[in-house]
Amino acid sequence: MTLSTVLALHDGTALAAALRYTLAQTHDARLEAVRTVIDHACSELEVNSHLKKDLSEDQLTIEICQYMRGLGFEPRHDEQAGGHCDILVRGKNMFMWVAEAKWHTSYSWLDQGFQQLATRYSTGVPGQDQGEVIIYCRNRDALAMLSKWREELSNRNAAVETADDESGNPLAFWSTHKHEKTGLDYRVRHKVVTLHHEPADKNKAACDSRDE
């Protein structure tokens, strides 16, 4: 069985993304693979939101790192790179990708995370010029929250431009600004992880029991 056959058989899975990361010869290919695996890890959190919704930022982020580690990545949590990064992935040819993960408690808290990523942890040099803000969200309407965050991000950071996610994911968007260290464009994906869990069946059962 050839490698291309293996990739084709597992296309659309985290395993295929991990294999593509290992084989990647360009920074763009590494970035796509990292983001794909992050999406799969976040999906696992969302599927089990009833068990994850009360975890801390660190606990959720460590679960993402453990998921990635199981696929052969070497993500580092709380790694020193201008400060304590939430998730840092290093690769060949000086590749480095950094993510800051925040519970959505306020938009100022999210902006603090963005500032940490943009001005503290990232270098902005080629191969290290993209990052991610991961937003853990308990809100009922994550899309409305993300839309408001996009507006707040622009209002609080005049030099930042935003754009829809290139893959068509409505629960993510991109921002671009000139990195203060290099003067090169620095791109950030802002992704929401939907962890709201308030099942109506339990509320209805409680009401029905009171009616008896």
> Residue 124 contacts by C-beta under 8 Å, 6 or more apart in sequence?
179, 180, 181, 182, 184, 186
Per the DSSP assignment, residues forming a β-bridge with 12 are: none
Q: Give the model confidence (pLDDT) of 30-59 as tens digits.
A: 999 999 999 999 999 999 999 999 999 999
Pairing relationship of beta strands 130-137 and 84-85 according to DSSP bridges: unpaired
Q: Tell me, what's the pLDDT at 210?
A: 56
Per the DSSP assignment, residues forming a β-bridge with 103 are: 136
Q: Tell me, what's the pLDDT at 40?
A: 96
- Residue 209: band (very low, low, confident or very high) from pLDDT cuts 50, 70, 90: low
DSSP states of 25-41: -SHHHHHHHHHHHHHHH
Helix or strand (DSSP H, E) at 122: none
Please report, as a single letter, which amino acid is at residue 106.
S
More reliable by pLDDT, 167 or 8: 167
Average pLDDT of 75-98? 83
Q: Return the domain boundaries, the chain.
A: 3-207
Q: Tell me, what's the pLDDT at 7?
A: 79
As a whole number of angstroms, the distance between CA 73 and CA 40 comes to 14
Per the DSSP assignment, residues forming a β-bridge with 193 are: 136
Residue 172, pLDDT > 70, answer yes
Angle between helices 27-47 and 14-23 (to 10 degrees): 160
- Residue 201: band (very low, low, confident or very high) from pLDDT cuts 50, 70, 90: confident
Q: Give the model confidence (pLDDT) of 64-83 as tens digits.
A: 999 999 999 989 886 656 56
Q: Tell me, what's the pLDDT at 198?
A: 87
User: In the numeric block, which tokens belong to residue 91?
Assistant: 């690769």
Residue 204, pLDDT > 60, answer no
Average pLDDT of 170-184? 97
Residue 206, pLDDT > 70, answer no
Q: Tell me, what's the pLDDT at 87?
A: 94
User: In the numeric block, which tokens belong to residue 73?
Assistant: 């990545």
Cβ neighbours, 10 Å, residue 15: 17
User: In the numeric block, which tokens belong to residue 179?
Assistant: 């990195």
